[in-house]
Structure 1
Amino acid sequence: MRAFVITGPGRSEVVEVDPPVAGPGEVVVDVERAGVCGTDMEFFSGDMAYLASGDAAYPVRIGHEWSGVVSAAGAGVDPSWVGKRVTGDTMLGCGRCARCRNGRQHLCADRYEIGIRNGWPGALAESLPVPAKALFELPDSVDPALGALVEPGGNALRAVRAAGPAPGKTVLVMGPGTIGLLAAMFARAHGAVVHLLGATAESLAFARGLGFTEAWTRTDLPSVPFDAIIDATNAYDLPAFAVNRVEPGGRVVCIGISGEPSLVDTRQAVLKDVTVAGILSASGGLGETIETYASGAVDPRPLIAETVGLAEAADVLVGKRHGSAPKIHIDPRF
């Protein structure tokens, strides 16, 4: 089968590889859509932290936002999975440690991450092996494009949960990229009054086109009392900015990761009685994300700028795209 492989910083190729075989407890998924995100771009540039820590090494087969159809089931797997449309969790814990047993497999020290950690192959390929326990069935109302947006949506949903949105509460989302806009959509669906903070006129114009009229740069951000602030950027100084701007007793949720240490004055957090939370992965948010997409309460399809084939993946990873929407999808069948 064909697969996209990153062989080193700035180097990649589409190659023929052996198709996956479903091992015990596993299925094979024929991939219909795979999203490209900032983590994938960091693998291509060589800046991904796992490369330095030894949790990942070249060659890397990326792709952790995906949807597809189960084509084979291994020993111990219910054969009724075959033919079902699915997506799945990126985080694959060992299943034996205390974290896994307590439902926190995404924090397992020995975890695999599909297309990211410890060599588990990703979805920029025609087929993908996945543990059956990581699967989520997709209803007919969640098409392949929506299915490949479940993983980023689960991240955003967990950030919104941590922010504690409610009707009448005001939430500021910093960073109108894919995760930030998804968080804004989920917060709005919970009845919150949503503001967005961005850095470019183009990104803010796109956000306004999605109905987020309260979209600002840092220079014109109004003096609004924010009950919660979600940081979906990679700016090292914005977590401190969020602690400074959030209302006393409010919540600051960090889901973006800076390339350098972010400094927060904990004295200010204590004296304002602020809750600061970090969010890693979509684990625990995938099922509700699927339900929310299926109901139509959140429709993130306008976030997709275009869908291209494997041969164009390298261009996507260096930032080439058409349109102002933030997400690019790959159809590995092209």
Structure 2
Amino acid sequence: MSAPTMRAFVLDAPGRCSVQEVPAPVAVPGEVVVDVERVGVCGTDVEFFTGEMAYLVEGDSTYPIRLGHEWAGTVAAVGDGVDRSWLGRRVMGDTMLGDRTCRRCRRGHQHVCAHRQEVGVRGRRHGALAEQVAVPAWSLHALPDAVDAVLGALVEPGGNALRAARATGAGPGDRALVLGPGTIGLLVAMFLRAAGAEVHLMGRTPESLAFARGLGFPHVWTEAGLPDLPFDAVVDASTAEHLPALALDLVEPAGRVVYIGLAGRPSTVDTRTLVLKDVTAVGVLSASPGLADTIAAYAGGAVDPRPLVAATVGLDEVGSVLAGRPPAGAGPGPKVLVDPHLR
């Protein structure tokens, strides 16, 4: 009797991908197998597709790779040592899988563990652009009924955005500027608005600016048209290498700058400006510490990211999406979701 297989999206080299029949995962001790219902296509996935992902240069990731780290699904099998109550539960999972023994992990910072795996990204941990994915049980977060598969697949980017919004310290009476109205930038803006801040967004294309206005953000600008206003906090959620320095220039003295976007090439900031303005700068890498609160925010309706989803496609269309070709009939939002069971 042959071993069971499943369909999975496999990236063999930059620009070279296919949907393949691969061995279905087995729930080894301490892990679960999840039937994947939705997966988000992320900018990190695009960087692997183009070959620009920094982990490839550093040797933390290699081809072939099975992508997909923003996911939601239902637990189908559990390994030895796992509470069987997980069976049949709707879940999403942390992308960052620390070794749980090092100093960083013991101090609660497993998302920056030097030996971490990242689901669909780093350390040969297969991702969720497949019909099933295997992950450690300790990485799971249960989803309440109010958070369906669409919202569940948006928890991981939401966790990053929530951490960035909180890092600004902005609330009622504060004015915050978000650079880059992509998925993360718009989610940051939503969390800032929920916190009571006056939110401004800066982008490049008329389409992205119009979409942001349609989400109820009236203060939307291009770089050239940015008004001369005091910004108590600035979040750089872009991929433009000159914007980290601009964020520092724009923030008010004693304000806060949060860096969550990554440019393809090194960016520079003048630390003299940082010091002389008495600015606090924060970098945000991971959603890990913000996942539970993001689920609660979605469940309670404080933030609704559904309008960000432009389309839902099957595995066979992932390569086209990564190549920058929008699906037929796609809406104006920046996020594409994948249903691995859609044909």
TM over 0.5, shorter chain: yes
Distance in structure 1 (CA, Å) of the matches to 2:19 and 2:247: 42
Residue among 237, 244, 252 paired with 2:249 = 244
Q: For residue 75 of structure 1, what is the aligned residue in structure 2?
A: 80
**How far has the Cα of 1:325 moved from its partner?**
0.7
**How far has the Cα of 1:323 moved from its partner?**
2.7
Pairing 1:120–2:128 present: no
Q: For residue 11 of structure 2, what is the aligned residue in structure 1?
A: 6
Q: For residue 134 of structure 2, what is the aligned residue in structure 1?
A: 129
Distance in structure 1 (CA, Å) of the matches to 2:274 and 2:54: 28
Q: Deviations over 1:145-200 (max 9, x none)?
A: 00000000000000011111211110000000000000000000000000000011
Residue among 257, 266, 271 paired with 2:271 = 266
Q: For residue 195 of structure 1, what is the aligned residue in structure 2?
A: 200
Distance in structure 1 (CA, Å) of the matches to 2:71 and 2:325: 21
Distance in structure 2 (CA, Å) of the matches to 1:109 and 1:304: 33
Distance in structure 2 (CA, Å) of the matches to 1:138 and 1:192: 28
Q: Secondary structure of 1:249's match?
A: strand
Distance in structure 2 (CA, Å) of the matches to 1:144 and 1:111: 26
Distance in structure 1 (CA, Å) of the matches to 2:325 and 2:290: 30
Residue among 287, 294, 298 paired with 2:299 = 294
Q: CA RMSD in A?
A: 0.6
Q: Deviations over 1:228-283 (max 9, x none)?
A: 00000011111111111100000000000111111111111101100011000101
Greater shift after overlay, 318-327 or 48-57? Answer: 318-327
Q: For residue 109 of structure 2, what is the aligned residue in structure 1?
A: 104
Distance in structure 1 (CA, Å) of the matches to 2:240 and 2:154: 24
Letter in 1 for 2:95: T
Distance in structure 1 (CA, Å) of the matches to 2:196 and 2:10: 42
Distance in structure 1 (CA, Å) of the matches to 2:293 and 2:274: 31
Q: Secondary structure of 2:172's match?
A: coil
TM-score, normalised to structure 2, is 0.97
Residue among 233, 238, 245 paired with 1:228 = 233
**How far has the Cα of 1:319 moved from its partner?**
1.3
Q: For residue 178 of structure 1, what is the aligned residue in structure 2?
A: 183
Distance in structure 2 (CA, Å) of the matches to 1:333 and 1:244: 48
Q: For residue 328 of structure 1, what is the aligned residue in structure 2?
A: 336
Distance in structure 2 (CA, Å) of the matches to 1:7 and 1:239: 33
Residue among 27, 30, 33 paired with 2:35 = 30
Q: For residue 145 of structure 1, what is the aligned residue in structure 2?
A: 150
* Alignment size in residue pairs: 334
**How far has the Cα of 1:24 moved from its partner?**
1.0
Q: Secondary structure of 1:284's match?
A: helix
Distance in structure 1 (CA, Å) of the matches to 2:160 and 2:311: 22
Q: Secondary structure of 1:223's match?
A: coil
Distance in structure 2 (CA, Å) of the matches to 1:330 and 1:49: 25
Identity over aligned residues, as a percent? 64
Residue among 52, 55, 67 paired with 1:62 = 67
**How far has the Cα of 1:73 moved from its partner?**
0.6
Distance in structure 1 (CA, Å) of the matches to 2:173 and 2:88: 44
Q: Could you list the runs of 5+ residues in structure 1 that have no partner in the other structure?
A: none
Distance in structure 1 (CA, Å) of the matches to 2:129 and 2:76: 17
**How far has the Cα of 1:320 moved from its partner?**
1.5
Residue among 312, 324, 330 paired with 2:317 = 312
Distance in structure 2 (CA, Å) of the matches to 1:131 and 1:170: 41
Distance in structure 2 (CA, Å) of the matches to 1:135 and 1:214: 37
Whether the 8 Å CA contact 2:8–2:21 is kept in 1: the answer is yes
Whether the 8 Å CA contact 2:309–2:331 is kept in 1: the answer is no
Letter in 1 for 2:169: G
Q: For residue 15 of structure 1, what is the aligned residue in structure 2?
A: 20
Distance in structure 2 (CA, Å) of the matches to 1:13 and 1:242: 40
Q: Secondary structure of 2:332's match?
A: coil
Q: Deviations over 1:39-75 (max 9, x none)?
A: 0011111111111111011100000000000000111
Q: Secondary structure of 1:305's match?
A: strand
Q: Secondary structure of 1:124's match?
A: coil
Whether the 8 Å CA contact 2:32–2:134 is kept in 1: the answer is yes
Q: Secondary structure of 2:62's match?
A: coil
Distance in structure 1 (CA, Å) of the matches to 2:71 and 2:212: 24
Distance in structure 2 (CA, Å) of the matches to 1:184 and 1:80: 37
Whether the 8 Å CA contact 2:178–2:236 is kept in 1: the answer is yes
**How far has the Cα of 1:91 moved from its partner?**
0.1
Distance in structure 2 (CA, Å) of the matches to 1:9 and 1:242: 32
